[in-house]
Amino acid sequence: MTREVVTQSYGSSIKGVLGKKLGMTQVFDAENKMIPVTVVSVESCVVTSIRTPEKDGYSAVQLGYGAIDPKKVSKPLAGHYAKAGVTPRRSVAELRTLSAAEYTVGQEIGASTFAAGDIVDATGTSTGKGTAGVMKRHGFGGLSSSHGVDRKHRMPGSIGACSTPGRVFKGMRMMGRMGNEKVTTQNLTVQAVDLENNLLLIKGSVPGTDGGLVFIRSAAKKALVETVKAGM
């Protein structure tokens, strides 16, 4: 008798692509259930450099996305892109993978990198909301609105610690800038792939605003498993 044993494969087959979030829509599956999806355009993504353990000490692939006027890049970056034989790109990101040798400089990366059903992580810059108070930023309940309370209903309350230690601890949750931070949403499912238009339809919400840059790569926690046969 044999059984299937699923083992985790760290880094061996990690895939990734840079793209632009276009917005959200909905599709219907085979059972006519409505599925909310985020549409990500991954056209014009190209390999600009390959990192090797012999030269760089680690294995990775540098990806570039988004065409930009050559006049708007610095001379060092212009030389970097010229060496790779690609036009200048607006954004770059590195994908750590042990299979970097399978890529070539100048190679175009598209929606075919992933298939429907793949589990991915999506990284983007969250929507900036400006300066926010503690109720909006951290979900504080606010002060009581009954009699005897001054006009401080949305204030954070006391932040001090008396004479010992006589200071405010670092990391105290207070008002401040909200959003505009690097955010990663894990374990999203690729619902469908549009190869003709180089689009990925990802089930659920992807961080960032419409038109923002997103980095889609194989899920870190549920990444690519290898199935082997083991005797019992």
Q: Looking at residue 44, what is its pLDDT?
A: 80
Compute the distance between CA of residue 219 and CA of residue 229 in angstroms, rounded to an integer.
Answer: 24
In this prediction, the residues of the chain whose per-residue pLDDT falls under 50 are 1-11, 224-232
Q: Looking at residue 157, what is its pLDDT?
A: 86
What is the CB-side half-sphere exposure of residue 75 using CA atoms within 13 A? 0
With b meaning 16 or more CB within 10 Å and e meaning fewer, what string describes 52-84? eeeeeeebbbbbbbbeeeeeebeeebeebbeeb
Q: Looking at residue 159, what is its pLDDT?
A: 87
Helix (H, G, I), strand (E, B) or coil at 134: helix
Compute the distance between CA of residue 160 and CA of residue 132 in angstroms, rounded to an integer.
Answer: 21
CB 179 within 8 A of CB 124: no
Report cis status (omega within 30 of 0) of the bond before 165. Answer: yes
**207 closest CA partner among 51, 40, 62:** 40
Q: Looking at residue 144, what is its pLDDT?
A: 85
Strand partners, 45: 65, 109
- What are the CA-CA distances from residue 10 to residues 14, 98, 101, 172 (Å)? 8, 9, 16, 36
Q: Quick one: 220 exposed, middle or buried, by C-beta within 10 A (0-12, 13-18, 19+)?
A: middle
- What are the CA-CA distances from residue 16 to residues 47, 221, 222, 230 (Å)? 11, 15, 15, 31
DSSP string over 139-197: -------STT--S-TT------BTBTT-SPPTT---SEEES-SEEEEEEEEEEEEETTT
Measured over the CA atoms of residue 136, residue 138, residue 140 and residue 142, the dihedral's sign is negative
* Residues 6+ away with beta carbon under 8 Å from 5: 227, 228, 229, 230
Compute the distance between CA of residue 11 and CA of residue 7 in angstroms, rounded to an integer.
Answer: 13
Q: What is the DSSP letter of 104?
A: -
User: What percentage of the chain has pLDDT greater than the value 70?
Assistant: 91
Q: Looking at residue 51, what is its pLDDT?
A: 92
CB 36 within 8 A of CB 64: no
Residue 32 burial (CB count, 10 A): 6
